[in-house]
Structure 1
Amino acid sequence: MEFTAYQTLQGQRWDAIAQAVYGSPYAYEGIIFANPQYRHLLQLPGGVVLRIPVVAQTEPTIPKELLPPWKR
């Protein structure tokens, strides 16, 4: 699995980091899993460098028969 680095701001929470990195505050579990040494903290100190799992961006797949005729 690939990782990228993210440096925290003082008092930042896991959900705020997930929002900043992935665009969703609900995607924080993978970040906590990749940084077990900080999992007990609700708010992180400033300057902590976290490992952020790189998530592949996938396009939603819509079956061809459900597309309107002009998009087939």
Structure 2
Amino acid sequence: MDNTYITSQGDTWDMISYKVYGNEKYVDKLIQSNLLYKETIIFKANVELSIPEVQIIQQSSLPPWKRGIV
């Protein structure tokens, strides 16, 4: 089930991705779920967007040997 996000004036795809997922790399998934707005670069206020669920993988900055990965 998808959630929704209501834009603020000046929101961009990467800003929304960061606000919702904590990372800008999910922009493609946001756009695919909101094709009506795919050409939008800067959003006006109060646009309702569908926010798909994604599997967020947390990356560690530690090298593998310090994370216990062999």
TM-score, normalising length: structure 1: 0.74
Give the C-alpha shift of residue 31 in structure 1: 0.4
Runs ≥4 in structure 1, deviation > 4 angstroms?
A: 57-60
Aligned to 1:25: 24
> How big is the alpha-carbon RMSD for the aligned residues of Structure 1 and Structure 2?
2.0
Give the C-alpha shift of residue 55 in structure 1: 1.4
Give the C-alpha shift of residue 57 in structure 1: 4.3
Structure 2: gaps spanning 5 or more residues: none
Q: Percentage identity across aligned positions?
A: 29
Work out the CA distance in 2 between the residues paired with 1:59 and 1:43.
Answer: 28
Q: What is the aligned residue count?
A: 63
1:36–1:58: structure 2 CA closer, same or farther, 3 Å change rule? same
* 1:12 partner SS: coil
Greater gyration radius? 1
- Aligned pair 1:15/2:18, yes or no? no
1:42–1:23: structure 2 CA closer, same or farther, 3 Å change rule? same
Aligned to 1:70: none
Structure 1: gaps spanning 5 or more residues: 67-72
- Write the deviation string for residues 10-66 of structure 1: whole angstroms up to 9, x where unpaired: 010000000001111121110011001111110111101100001134578x9x872
